[in-house]
Amino acid sequence: MATIAFIGLGNMGGPMAANLAKAGHSVKAFDLSPQALEQAASQGCQIADSAQQAASGVDFVISMLPAGKHVEGLYVSGDQPLFDQLDSSTLVIDCSTIDADTARSVAAAGAEKGVGFIDAPVSGGVGGAQAGTLTFIVGGTDAQFQQAKPILECMGKNIFHAGDHGAGQIAKVCNNMLLGILMSGTCEALNMGVKNGLDPKVLSDIMKQSSGNNWALQVYNPFPGVMDGVPASRDYQGGFQVDLMFKDLGLAMDVSQKSAAATPMGSAARALFNLHKSAGNGGLDFSSLIKLYQDAD
């Protein structure tokens, strides 16, 4: 069993750290939020006073932080960067969704100090984090992928090696751009059907068995009352925040700009989530985008 530091115990990191502890690993957890620390302690993790204390003498450091600046600060440019204290016996696995350039530059900064760093963003949402069924999308060398795999398998079901450093983040951002487009389209179709007299559940059942079938209809219906256990059935609390989807669509637009890849649909989805966020909905689950359509009617 391994000794693991886990930094960032939010909606995703909390249940991921709990699953590592449940699998028998020794997990030393740190977050800036005292509530997140309390929750982690109740789920079998040891609590550290700082990221530096958590990362002392461990086999792996795993981070699950909001954005690139947090990851860069933790390992490279903060007050006591972890790359100054770690050595080649530790592999760093960053599971946050961040821009590929930062993932590559942090990996290069680690390599200069002899510390391995891979990007391993996830898909599957809070439900997947709790159930231990996440998809991990890894960017790094073959050897680093093989080293990380048994650890990632304690938190996920599908572990992919996308390519070298940064490739995990590129694949993740392609996926989330598609998710933003699919959710926007699903909200648009459901709202139009309901406006024309259809029952949202009946319409959802029809589209699920027809060519419009997609992930949002299958497991994450945005219309309240259609599906139990999804954010739409609890006032869009928990889940994947509009703020985070907006961040991911921004990352997709950066990749599109730098590579001159055409992304008109991604750009439209970003504009829709931007409008929704600007109306004060950034903290709601991203399926609340349907309110934008309902309010426009």
Query: What are the angstrom distances between the C-alpha of 47 and each of 9, 29, 59?
Result: 11, 5, 17
* CB-based burial, 28-59: b 16+ in 10 Å, e otherwise: bbbbeeeebbebbeebbbbbbeebbebbeebb
Question: Which residue in 107, 115, 244, 269 binds ligand NAD (CB under 6 A)?
Answer: 244
Token pair for residue 226? 């259609």
C-beta of 10 vs 282, nearer to ligand NAD: 10
Question: Which residue in 66, 163, 212, 282 binds ligand NAD (CB under 6 A)?
Answer: 66
C-beta of 51 vs 203, nearer to ligand NAD: 51
Residue 13 sits in the site that holds ligand NAD (CB under 6 A): yes
Annotated catalytic residue 172: yes
Q: What residues contact residue 90 under an 8 Å CB cut-off, 6+ apart?
A: 55, 58, 59, 60, 61, 115, 116
Minimum distance between the CB of residue 191 and ligand NAD, rounded to whole angstroms? 23
Residue 177 sits in the site that holds ligand NAD (CB under 6 A): no
| DSSP assigned state of 227 | S
Minimum distance between the CB of residue 144 and ligand NAD, rounded to whole angstroms? 20
How many residues bind ligand NAD, per CB under 6 A? Answer: 25
172, 247, 277, 291: the catalytic one is 172
Residue 94 sits in the site that holds ligand NAD (CB under 6 A): no
Residue 125 sits in the site that holds ligand NAD (CB under 6 A): yes
129-134 LR contacts (CB < 8 Å, sep 24+): 129/11, 129/12, 129/14, 129/15, 129/16, 129/19, 129/155, 130/15, 132/19, 132/156, 132/157, 133/157, 134/16
Minimum distance between the CB of residue 11 and ligand NAD, rounded to whole angstroms? 4
Question: Which residue in 5, 17, 48, 64 binds ligand NAD (CB under 6 A)?
Answer: 64
Hey, which residues between 104 and 123 contact ligand NAD (CB under 6 A)? 122
Query: What are the angstrom distances between the C-alpha of 231 and each of 179, 220, 237, 278?
Result: 16, 8, 6, 20
Residue with smallest beta-carbon separation from ligand NAD = 10
Minimum distance between the CB of residue 170 and ligand NAD, rounded to whole angstroms? 15
Rounded to an integer, what distance in angstroms lies between the CA atom of residue 274 and that of residue 279?
A: 9
Residue 47 sits in the site that holds ligand NAD (CB under 6 A): no
Residue 270 sits in the site that holds ligand NAD (CB under 6 A): no
For 154, counting Cβ atoms within 10 Å of its Cβ (0-12 exposed, 13-18 middle, 19+ buried), the class is middle
Residue 151 sits in the site that holds ligand NAD (CB under 6 A): no
- Residues known to be catalytic: 172
Task: Give the footprint of ligand NAD on this chain (CB under 6 A).
Answer: 7-13, 30-33, 36, 51, 64-66, 70, 74, 96-97, 122, 125-126, 240, 244
